Structure 1
């Protein structure tokens, strides 16, 4: 990772920018838990190990630049305490734990700060200006405190629009807004409508972002008209407003927004209070202030893919105390260098280099090219 950070700094200077120019990054945490009872409850995680991954967002490959491995487990400490010794982890010699047992393992604010601390220890240190997270703004706050410079928190697109769906499904709309007989049926239709509204707003944003090339001023101005067109479209008055302002609905009889989750010919019975609530729900993602939080179209998808890659050597339901951190760094090295190059470098580092020009090198290089091809194909828009 030190070489990755150095290369980013070199590329920055080659572009004519100062060596201390800021970069954008993304971060996400992963927890190891021997049971599955606490999945999804980050603040009260019953896990004993945490991995916080930070990736850069300035190159097309989006590589890992910092990793923090928090571990509460220490076999030696357990043995000593059973023998009557008064030891406290992680304060005794040869302790594998680096986090106290009473520490809040879900404190992403602290773990993001540890990643920034690792970056700052490097002679080729980088300065982060924006940190994309999955809804946890505390991570950016913790990173800012360690860095000594403010870091703006950006939102992950998937989690950002998912939070809109959840709030829309819980909004206190009137009983007459959703046409159905019973309260249970109306709540079911409201949940389906919340899902469709999320899909509609995401489509409007994506199409407008491509149309204006990411220009936030033009995008914000266009979305102010899009909000009105969405409201009229759901009232069954789709036509001229959608033709003029919408990026997802053409407003024509044979070409308009077709919902995949709502009943056919669905219309909302909206009163003044419902319209105000519905406008607030749309502005949760398409409002001017919220558009600024996703203006760079960044996400935490790379960090989440790295978290899935950790499963190759470190399952989430297995908590190995001694070799937990080496397993994580082995996967990070493989992702940053590529499987083939990583294998060759590791063999050379342990004193067993692979003969150059041999069949093994040929197969590893071939696999490396194949992975690069599929990576480029996934990134392309078909």
Structure 2
């Protein structure tokens, strides 16, 4: 804008008459080019009319026609990291009283920018693979090409089934593989199974008989609409992609749902027939499995205190939470005490298991020597130390031999040699879960992104691998619109705040305060329930069921 006024004043001064000493400029024409504008001004005192000025930076496209505006490309680059698309972006601009670009023009640029981001992230992940290989070589690895990974899948649906359509509810699935060799945990591979194709659906709506994928040009689906989404197939794609870059995977950490490790192994065997991949378990998912098994176990009715089945069920849930927390603390303490020496830990596990069962039965005679987390005294035993048991005033369980046998099998999910072998490196899928949470922002599950889902995925991974500042600068440089110094300074501030927040959450004192806060909330909730017996009154579908003489007053608990 300043350049336009300076140029217009200079041109007016060169061609003005004596009667127009002080010009009075007014816009004579304006033309919108996406989010950019072109202006021409005139002088009301004379006949001067300026040339048309482009109030945006032009980006050469290498194609015939008008050059692209930098603001239009960077707008699409920014939207890749946002939960909104072009429709909501246009609405946001109108709320700011800014005339929005056309929807078709935004979609065209969005497709171009998405393809560029995908290529940029592919190159970046290849560089990260070479960085991990270099790290292995410096660490004295026998074969630096061996990289261990953690793999997890994400579906664009919160439920497995659907009440209206056959088959799976999800139409897209994403497989993420991050390395576990370095502390950075770089994302090395990302694949997508996509059954959505906007153009194919549009052609079928017009009466054309086309099938996706491959039935027409510019298709986006890579899977037939009725084909099942499979983590095994995504694992095969990940393994093939990494094998082409001379990467061997020895250990793959997954949750208990998918078969990604088997898919990786089958893909690697094509080039290395005798190669095998060992699947490791994620401790967090293993603990969640232990909670479910304990909560669904068939314990005796006399085991839990309480007068009604509802009260006994609450104590059973408290025990399930406590078993999960106790086993996690036991394994964490053992790994710290023995510095990851699994051989020494195997020797101690049988006594740890026996003392834990006895402790829950009220016998703490073995706790001081073998329990790891219970000292066996009056005030420092596990019953007083536990967040769940102490907060809810649970101080005894009446177990018979069958209950002890069931509890022993539940404890073996975490405290056993088999469980130790599955978690011997303490690797987890938390980085993959973090990427999934980030994807919930750029790829919300309630929005279908048929054409640019891969671009949004690539932009999220690039930001995770290189950080907010570096990723934004790389994208801007690729589009030919480098950032200004003030913008780079703001990015440094944003990244500094993000890193500080991440580091703050891992501080021991912060984690301790979080545990104390959780325990206090549990205690306050128990006290509230003791003095206020009002329930929510929720019962699924109770208003649509035929009423009987016994449930006429069941809609609200306070009506009793």
| TM-score of the superposed pair, with normalisation by structure 1 | 0.90
CA-CA distance at 1:86 after TM superposition: 2.5
Which residue does 1:168 correspond to in 2?
294
1:133-176 Cα distance to aligned partner (Å, 9 max, x none): 12125221111111213221111111101111111122222233
Contact 2:213 2:222 in 1 (8 A): yes
Which residue does 1:365 correspond to in 2?
492
CA-CA distance at 1:328 after TM superposition: 0.8
* Secondary structure, counterpart of 1:284 in structure 2: coil
Q: Distance in 1 between matches of 2:236 and 2:346?
A: 32
Which residue does 1:198 correspond to in 2?
324
Q: Distance in 1 between matches of 2:197 and 2:207?
A: 16
CA-CA distance at 1:269 after TM superposition: 2.2
Change (3 A) 1:174 1:40: farther
Matched, 1:131 2:252: yes
Corresponding residue pairs, total: 373
Contact 2:239 2:263 in 1 (8 A): no
Residue among 204, 207, 224 paired with 2:333: 207
* Secondary structure, counterpart of 1:3 in structure 2: helix
Matched, 1:88 2:88: no
Which residue does 1:231 correspond to in 2?
357
How do 1:74-153 and structure 2 match up within 5 A? 74-92=197-215, 93-105=217-229, 107-122=230-245, 125-136=246-257, 138-148=259-269, 149-153=275-279
1:212-259 Cα distance to aligned partner (Å, 9 max, x none): 111111122222111111111111122x31111122111111211133
Which residue does 1:243 correspond to in 2?
368
Q: Distance in 2 between matches of 1:18 and 1:265?
A: 53
Contact 2:231 2:258 in 1 (8 A): no
Residue among 132, 144, 147 paired with 1:23: 147
Greater CA radius of gyration, 1 or 2? 2
Give the gaps of 5 or more residues in structure 1: none
Contact 1:109 1:142 in 2 (8 A): yes
Is the deviation greater in 173-182 or in 7-16? Answer: 173-182
* Secondary structure, counterpart of 2:347 in structure 1: helix
CA-CA distance at 1:378 after TM superposition: 4.0
Which residue does 2:403 correspond to in 1?
274
Matched, 1:297 2:429: no
Q: Distance in 1 between matches of 2:504 and 2:170?
A: 37
| TM-score of the superposed pair, with normalisation by structure 2 | 0.63
Q: Distance in 2 between matches of 1:288 and 1:371?
A: 39
1:182-230 Cα distance to aligned partner (Å, 9 max, x none): 4443333222212211111111111111111111111222221111111
Matched, 1:354 2:483: yes
CA-CA distance at 1:314 after TM superposition: 1.7
* Secondary structure, counterpart of 1:352 in structure 2: coil
CA-CA distance at 1:377 after TM superposition: 4.4
Q: Distance in 1 between matches of 2:368 and 2:208?
A: 77
Change (3 A) 1:104 1:79: same
Q: Distance in 1 between matches of 2:265 and 2:305?
A: 49
CA-CA distance at 1:364 after TM superposition: 2.6
Contact 1:10 1:19 in 2 (8 A): no
How do 1:369-380 and structure 2 match up within 5 A? 369-379=496-506
Which residue does 1:65 correspond to in 2?
188
CA-CA distance at 1:272 after TM superposition: 2.3
Matched, 1:340 2:469: yes
Contact 1:20 1:127 in 2 (8 A): no
Contact 1:137 1:153 in 2 (8 A): no
Contact 1:54 1:66 in 2 (8 A): yes
Is the deviation greater in 63-72 or in 167-176? Answer: 167-176
Matched, 1:319 2:448: yes
1:282-303 Cα distance to aligned partner (Å, 9 max, x none): 1111011111111111211111
CA-CA distance at 1:98 after TM superposition: 1.0
Matched, 1:331 2:456: no
Q: Distance in 2 between matches of 1:324 and 1:220?
A: 46
Give the gaps of 5 or more residues in structure 2: 1-124, 270-274, 510-560
1:43-90 Cα distance to aligned partner (Å, 9 max, x none): 963111111111111111211111012211112112222333332101
Q: Distance in 2 between matches of 1:164 and 1:44?
A: 29
Change (3 A) 1:18 1:206: closer
1:324-352 Cα distance to aligned partner (Å, 9 max, x none): 11111011111111111111111111122
Change (3 A) 1:72 1:218: same
Instruction: Please provide the CA RMSD for this pair.
Output: 2.3
